[in-house]
Amino acid sequence: MTNRNISFIVKDQNPLMLRPSDTVQTACQRMCERNVGAVLVTDVHARLKGIFTGRDAVQTIARGGNPATVQLTQAMTAKPDTIAPDLKAIDALHMMCDGGYRHLPVTVDDTVVGIVSRSDFKGLELDQFEDQQSLWERIC
């Protein structure tokens, strides 16, 4: 992992992307179909507008929102933090830990190229961490 960057993780990725006008129900259905925990909300040019996660779905329902009618633009996290594909994987992992993120969009000039999740890092060597066990306790 010492020299690997995020492009290694997202190189052949086809991230799940929906439009801001799509509903929470549609997002949840697609997330189940693809077995993923997040949807990237983009415009027609794949420019990132937000991220919608399982947590957002729970919050929508808990607040009395109808998943069949609430649009993603109302339920997503707008303007989420992003990372570039040339960022070192170890730095992305630190950012996820520090920010409490489960997912981070990967963009180039606001255009989506992928998404990383905590599980993407499980198979990589963590030789830069002095205490690997405490790291995994923080991210898993």
pLDDT of residue 130: 47
**Closest by Cα among 47, 37, 43 to 22:** 43
Amino acid at 34: R
Rounded to an integer, what distance in angstroms lies between the CA atom of residue 91 and that of residue 5?
Answer: 9
Amino acid at 48: L
Average pLDDT over residues 114-119: 92
Amino acid at 28: C
Q: What confidence tens digit (pLDDT) does each residue in 46-98 have?
A: 999 999 999 999 999 999 999 999 999 999 999 999 999 999 988 898 899 89
Contact by Cβ (8 Å): 51, 80: yes
Contact by Cβ (8 Å): 42, 19: yes
Average pLDDT over residues 28-54: 97
Residue with tokens 């993603």: 72
- The tokens for 10 are 């997202």
pLDDT of residue 84: 97
Q: Where is pLDDT greater, at 45 or 121?
A: 45
| Average pLDDT of the chain to the nearest whole number | 89
Q: Which CATH architecture has domain 6-139?
A: Roll (3.10)
Average pLDDT over residues 36-44: 96
Residue 122 has pLDDT above 90, yes or no: no
DSSP classification of residue 5: B
Q: How many helices (H) and strands (E) does the chain have?
A: 6, 6
Residue with tokens 């790291």: 135
The proportion of the chain whose per-residue pLDDT surpasses 70, expressed as a percent, equals 85
Rounded to an integer, what distance in angstroms lies between the CA atom of residue 81 and that of residue 138?
Answer: 19
